[in-house]
Amino acid sequence: MPEVTTFHHPACGTSRNVLALMPQAGIEPTVIESLKTPPSKARLRELVAAMGIGVRRLLREHGTRHAEDGEVIEDTGVRRA
């Protein structure tokens, strides 16, 4: 089975649910609490490239500092609204 790392946000219900389901699927992930140890920009770029998706699909906007600061997350990065 491939190695799995999850960036967990304990206050997020979806994150908690997925983390609870992983052992049931035989997955023992490495868990990184995203607020305590956020990934660097370089690591985020690596993850996006490895997954073959755009930045917008990786990051949520609602309830984040980006939304509070009037920023918009796009595939090319974050910009002011």
Residues known to be catalytic:
12
Could you tell me whether strands 30-33 and 5-8 are parallel, antiparallel, or unpaired per DSSP bridges?
parallel
How far apart, in whole angstroms, are the C-alpha atoms of residue 73 and residue 35? Answer: 18
Q: Which residues have CB under 8 Å from 80's CB, separation 6+?
A: 70, 71, 72
Structure tokens at 48: 């996006």
